[in-house]
Amino acid sequence: MNGKPVAVITGASRGIGRAITLALAAEGYDIVAIARSLDSEGMETLGPEVEKRNSDFFPIGLDISCTACQVEVVKDILDRYGRIDILVNNAGVAPLQRTDLLELSEESYDRVMNINLRGPLFFTQRVAKEMLWLKTMIETYSPKIIFISSVSAYMPSIRRAEYCISKAGLSMTTEVFAERLTREGILVYEIRPGIIETDMTARVKDKYDKMIEEGRIPQKRWGLPADVAKAVASIARGDWDFSSGAVFEVSGGLNIRSL
């Protein structure tokens, strides 16, 4: 059984997932990087960056919404490393098209919910079962599960309702897994990014630039993927080992409510 801790990150090829992957490699974790495609430029360049940090790199192609495919993926990880110490559920998509709530289609709803909520829920279920078994096998084992949600879990946006609903569901997913697993020594956390500079937000850059200029973001800047990665790294280091079930908002003060 591998003695080095292993981190599994979904949606690892770009943006927030990429930053988290590199941060955990720097923290001394071997890396399992999961992305929909292994042929993307992001995945091809990620491996060398991980290895520069003296970590092993195991790329896996998986559409997280394919729950039947998840069984083989978990098996492959355990066959290679014999352990999973941290699972970061980061994979997620925005709607292909922003439309008014009254025009929301079932196809768009199903796509977003399957990738953002259903897939991560059942992937976590499979990994959690293995973590429970591994706790009986590894003396110093301290597993953690992290869900990357969004401020959209509580801030409605009527032109991407399916995204907001999926993130609200992911927030409750964090709570139910925390309730189920914490007493058995598996710690569970939620991180809620705000307006983060990624490919997903690039399509509406002007809108968010205006929000920042108008003071909607008290810290007066875009968030960066590295800001989210720092929160994950802090959890991975054990800085919050007495805070299972906690929600960490990385939003530049967007959560501050004032009149």
List pLDDT tens digits, range 90-147. 999 999 999 999 999 999 999 999 999 999 999 999 999 999 999 999 999 999 999 9
| CB-based contacts of 211, cutoff 8 Å, min separation 6 | 195, 217
DSSP type of residue 64: T
> Average pLDDT, whole number, for the chain?
95
Q: What is the domain partition of the chain in residue ranges? A: 6-250
Q: Would you identify the CATH topology of the domain 6-250? A: Rossmann fold (3.40.50)
Contacts for 172 with CB less than 8 Å, ≥ 6 apart: none
Name the H helices within 53-182.
67-81, 106-113, 119-135, 161-181
Work out the percent of the chain whose per-residue pLDDT is above 70. Answer: 99
Predicted confidence band of residue 170 (pLDDT cuts 50, 70, 90): very high
Under the banding of pLDDT at 50, 70 and 90, the label for residue 21 is very high
Model confidence at 257, pLDDT cuts 50, 70, 90, reads confident
Q: Please report which confidence band the pLDDT of residue 40 belongs to, taking 50, 70 and 90 as the band edges.
A: confident
Q: Given this model, what pLDDT does residue 137 score? A: 94
| Residue 127 CB neighbours (<10 A) | 24
Question: Which residue intervals of 147-224 are DSSP H helices?
Answer: 161-181, 199-202, 205-213
Q: How far is CA 47 from the centre of its chain?
A: 19
Q: Is the pLDDT of residue 2 over 70?
A: no
Say if residues 84 and 2 touch (Cβ distance below 8 Å): no
